[in-house]
């Protein structure tokens, strides 16, 4: 009888032990699955913030659509504006993952401050500076025509914050007509605002990038500023060092250098450096 009781006790112990092991294994598997799902959810919810020059908007809209189709786990959020304003925001700690500037000096400031590592940036694109007028009024044929008395208002970007405005002023100075037209100048917050002023007829002419002029059906290009009249127009792009999504930012940074992306930029009038 005692032996039988001992046998039953051992059997019950082994049964309880087996159940406990089974529960632990299930719990471990559940925990591993939960960790995997959490990591997957984090990946799916990555949002990259890209501060980019206003002149890049149309090309970047196309690239954004294509990239997000190929990488559904990534959401691209763009902040378009004047390169100088965007640079100041980043210098002041704005949460940004990539900076795509229309001017080397604004970009170089962030490199000097340590916001962008030298190895995480490169000169990617180039552009041209053009004179545009409303499509229905083409009495202005050249930069020299801007000095005529009948030309009342000319728009350029604010030189201190808008690279296109800085290039425009430099070109007009090299052409020796800046002093004659300075009183006619209407300053804008970025090149897209300059374009809007011309499209609506609020000014007689504007100086913008060629890429901006090409996307508008309401203006025509009447002249191109010679490359010798201004410093080269270069668009550098780089990863912000303190990006919370550095690896994802690096993947998009590398995609911008791919043949697919460069083809889009060329279609919108940019040159490849």
pLDDT of residue 43: 53
> Percent of the chain having pLDDT more than 70?
84
Lowest-confidence segment of 13-27, 85-99, 254-268 by average pLDDT: 13-27
Task: State how far the alpha carbon of 134 is from the alpha carbons of 204, 207, 208, 215, in Å.
Answer: 7, 12, 13, 14
Position 10 pLDDT exceeds 70: no
Q: Report the chain's C-alpha Rg in angstroms.
A: 29
56 compared with 24, residue with greater pLDDT: 56
**119, 245: one domain:** yes
* Pair 91, 77 in one domain: yes
Q: pLDDT of 195-234, one tens digit each? A: 999 999 999 999 999 999 999 999 999 999 999 999 999 9
Whether residue 100 contacts residue 53, with contact meaning beta carbons closer than 8 Å, is answered with yes
Q: Where is average pLDDT lowest: 21-35, 208-222, 237-251?
A: 21-35
CATH of the domain at 76: 3.40.190.10
Provide, for the chain, the percentages of residues in helix, strand and coil under a 3-state DSSP scheme, each rounded to the nearest 5: 50, 25, 25
Residue % of the chain over a pLDDT of 90: 82
Is 150 domain-assigned?
yes
Any domain includes 30? no
- Which residue range is the domain that position 163 belongs to? 129-229
**The pLDDT of residue 13 is above 70:** no
80/258 Cα distance (integer angstroms): 22
Rounded to whole angstroms, the maximal C-alpha distance in the chain is: 123
Answer yes or no: do 75 and 149 share one domain.
no
Are residues 89 and 50 in contact, defined by beta-carbon separation less than 8 angstroms? no
Based on the fold, state whether residues 174 and 218 are members of the same structural domain.
Answer: yes
Q: Are residues 176 and 93 in the same domain?
A: no
Residues 142 and 119 in one domain: no
Least Cα distance to 79 among 62, 92, 102, 96 occurs for 96
State whether 150 and 213 are in the same domain.
yes
Is residue 6 in some structural domain?
no
41: exposed, middle or buried (C-beta count within 10 Å: 0-12, 13-18, 19+)? Answer: exposed
Q: What is the 3-state secondary structure (H, E, C) of 134-185?
A: ECCCCCCCCHHHHHCCCCCCEEEECCCCCHHHHHHHHHHHHCCCHHHHHHHE
- Whether residues 194 and 215 share a domain: the answer is yes
Q: What is the pTM of this model?
A: 0.79
Condensed to tens digits (0 to 9), the pLDDT of residues 81-91 reads 999 999 999 99
pLDDT of 9 reads 53
Q: Is residue 15 part of a domain?
A: no
Contact (Cβ atoms closer than 8 angstroms) between residue 126 and residue 232: yes
Supply the pLDDT for residue 20. Answer: 53
Which of the pair, 258 or 34, is modelled with greater confidence? 258
Give residue 45's pLDDT band: very low, low, confident or very high (50, 70, 90).
confident
Burial (Cβ within 10 Å: 0-12, 13-18, ≥19) of residue 28: exposed
Domain presence at residue 21: no
264 vs 195: CA distance, rounded Å: 21
Assess whether 67 and 135 both reside in one domain.
Answer: no
Q: Within this chain, do residues 134 and 62 fall inside the same structural domain, yes or no?
A: no
Instruction: Find the mean pLDDT for residues 35-56.
Output: 71
CB atoms within 10 A of CB 59: 21
14 in any annotated domain: no
Cα 187 to chain centroid distance, Å, stands at 23
Which residues have a Cβ under 8 Å from the Cβ of 144 and sit 6 or more positions away? 175, 177
DSSP 185-206: EEEESSHHHHHHHHHTTSSSEE
Q: Nearest 5°: CA angle at 215, between 99 and 154? A: 90
> With contact defined as beta carbons under 8 Å apart, do 127 and 235 qualify?
yes
Q: Which whole number is the average pLDDT over 156-162? A: 97
- On whether both 148 and 218 belong to a single domain, the answer is yes
**If you write DSSP's letter for every residue of 77-135 in order, what string do you get?**
EEEEE-HHHHHHHHHTT---SEEE-S-HHHHHHHHHHTSEEEEEEEEEEE--EEEEEET
Q: Per-residue confidence at 26, pLDDT binned at 50, 70, 90?
A: very low
**pLDDT computed for residue 7 by the predictor:** 47
Answer yes or no: is 94 within a domain: yes
158-168: average pLDDT: 96
- Predicted pLDDT at 5: 47
**Which pLDDT score, from 0 to 100, does residue 246 have?**
97
- Based on the domain organization, do 152 and 109 belong to the same domain? no
Mean pLDDT, the chain, rounded, equals 89
Residue 28 lies in a domain: no
pLDDT value at position 18?
53
Domain count for the chain: 2
Residue 113 CB coordination number (10 Å) = 12
Residues in the chain: 273
């Amino acid at each position: 009888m005692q032996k039988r009781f001992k046998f039953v006790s051992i059997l019950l112990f082994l049964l309880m032990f087996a159940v406990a092991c089974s529960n632990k294994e299930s719990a471990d598997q559940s925990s591993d699955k939960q960790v995997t799902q959490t990591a997957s959810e984090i990946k799916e919810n990555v949002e990259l913030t890209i501060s980019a020059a206003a002149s890049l908007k149309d090309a970047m809209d196309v690239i954004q659509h294509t990239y997000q189709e190929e990488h559904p786990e990534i959401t691209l959020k763009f902040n378009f504006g004047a390169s100088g304003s965007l640079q100041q925001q980043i210098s002041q700690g704005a949460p940004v993952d990539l900076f795509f500037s229309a001017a080397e000096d604004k970009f170089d400031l962030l490199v000097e401050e340590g916001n962008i590592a030298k190895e995480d940036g490169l000169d990617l694109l180039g552009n041209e500076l053009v004179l545009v007028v409303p499509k229905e009024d083409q009495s202005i044929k050249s930069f020299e025509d801007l000095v005529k008395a009948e030309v009342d208002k000319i728009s350029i970007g604010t030189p201190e914050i808008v690279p296109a405005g800085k290039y425009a002023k430099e070109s007009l100075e090299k052409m020796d007509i800046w002093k004659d037209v300075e009183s006619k100048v209407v300053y804008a917050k970025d090149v897209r605002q300059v374009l809007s002023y011309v499209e609506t007829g609020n000014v007689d002419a504007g100086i913008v990038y060629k890429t901006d002029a090409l996307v508008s059906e309401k203006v025509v290009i009447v002249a191109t500023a010679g490359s010798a009249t201004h410093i080269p127009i270069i668009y550098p792009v780089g990863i912000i060092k303190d990006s919370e999504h550095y690896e994802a930012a690096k993947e998009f940074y590398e995609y911008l250098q791919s043949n697919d992306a460069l083809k889009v930029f060329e279609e919108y009038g940019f040159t490849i450096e």
